[in-house]
Amino acid sequence: MWAFAFASLLGGLSGLYSAALAAAYAKAIEQGKLANTATLLYSLAHPQFRFSTPAQRFAVLVCVLVLAASHIWFLGRYGWSAHALALAFQASLLCSLALIDIRTGLLPDALNLPLFSAGLIVALQPSAATNVTHALLGAFVGYGFLWLVMGLFSKIAKTEGMGRGDLKLAAALGACCGIEHILYVLMLASLAGTLFAMSHQRTVFAKGSYPFGPFLAGAGLAVTLAHA
């Protein structure tokens, strides 16, 4: 019981820090800093714990609850192991990426690359649902599928449909979920994004664009929890 309570506390603190990191990064970008690794490292060292709007406070609450529940789930499945710690790290990165994309429209490489690495670390564990080969194939399929969709959309609509950060996040999620599950992630993210746009605009034929990263991150975490 105490182990689960401690895991819940760690997850909650991780969620709070993920939100504070996103807030600090967004503030740095607003102040004119470049969207690079140096800015992310500065944000890591100077997290912003002030959340001024109800939407921001709600996002913090969601992150805290989701990561607390995720940490309990991973502990229950794998105990205090490298596998559980890597999965918890993945979940924290996904929360940070989702919040950063919401606030800035950016998905930093300095978070996508560690997410990719965490996926490979999980794949190396004997208890993992996938292996390194399938993780690398999943990364290829995740990136390639969205690259094809983006190319087709650009030719039809004569405009960019998503950024390179979305492709890199899809590749990282492919490494995390493996080729067995990456298509589920992409389909779930696309469905969630479409339904959100329709409900937000109150029309069946929604127009405009929204950050896709939060839907990818949410779908990736959902699939990870389902198959952990």
How many Å apart are CA 26 and CA 21, to the nearest integer? 9
User: Is 49 strand, coil or helix?
Assistant: coil
Tens digits of pLDDT across the chain (228 residues): 788 899 999 999 999 999 999 999 999 999 999 989 999 999 999 999 989 899 899 999 999 999 999 999 999 999 989 899 999 999 999 999 999 999 999 999 999 999 999 999 999 888 777 889 999 999 999 999 999 988 887 776 666 666 789 999 999 999 999 999 999 999 999 999 888 888 877 776 666 678 899 999 999 999 999 987
- Best CA proximity match to 228, nearest among 176, 171, 186, 169: 176
Domain ranges of the chain: 2-227
How many Å apart are CA 55 and CA 1, to the nearest integer? 33
How many Å apart are CA 31 and CA 38, to the nearest integer? 14
